[in-house]
Amino acid sequence: MTSAAFSAPNVYSFTLNSIDGQPAPLAAYRGKVLLLVNVASKCGYTPQYAGLEKLYQKYKDRGFVILGFPANNFGGQEPGDNREIKSFCSRTYNVTFPLYEKSSVKGGDINPLYRFLTDKNENPSTGGEVRWNFTKFLVGKDGKVIARFEPAVTPESPELTAAIEKALE
């Protein structure tokens, strides 16, 4: 059942800007398994960038993509602008997976994708407000959310890698 406020059958319905400011439709990833992560440069979980990049390198040739969504919603831990964020990610963690422009993942100015991801009507088993940086949403090849992993679940964790491998089958 779709929400009366908006109707989006899956993540492919959304277009947000890339970190370089260009429209980047998620429909470009149709048929791939996605891991959507709200990221921040000055968080205790920031070292997860290294694990995310390893995960991306390990599975990208099998149709897996990580999409990073910088957000400053938690403790001011993403204070930089898009250029600074991109430079930090590249310089510090050699990030090559796609990054989107800085936006909000909760509250009144939440971006439309995260409004969809966290909507309990649209995604009853994975919805609910994002509580901190590095929350991970796993999306199947059909564009539907299949799992949510809280920040303490690292990119190397067996539960996350098992879910990715199952989704890639």
Q: What class does CATH assign to 11-168?
A: alpha beta
Q: Measured at the alpha carbon of residue 118, what is the angle toward residues 116 and 120, in degrees to the nearest 5?
A: 95
The pLDDT of residue 8: 55
Query: Is 43 part of the annotated catalytic residue set?
Result: yes
Reading the chain (169 residues) residue by residue, the pLDDT tens digits are: 333 444 557 999 999 999 999 999 999 999 999 999 999 999 999 999 999 999 999 999 999 999 999 999 999 999 999 999 999 999 999 999 999 999 999 999 999 999 999 999 999 999 999 999 999 999 999 999 999 999 999 999 999 999 999 999 9
DSSP string covering 32-46:
SEEEEEEE-SSSTTT
Question: Which among 24, 36, 37, 43 is annotated as catalytic?
Answer: 43
Tokens 């539907």 — which residue? 144
Residues 6+ apart with CB under 8 A from 59: 33, 164, 168
**pTM of the predicted model as reported, rounded to 2 decimal places:** 0.94
What's 159's DSSP letter?
Answer: H
pLDDT at 9: 75
Please tell me the distance from the alpha carbon of residue 75 to that of residue 122, in angstroms, as a whole number: 28
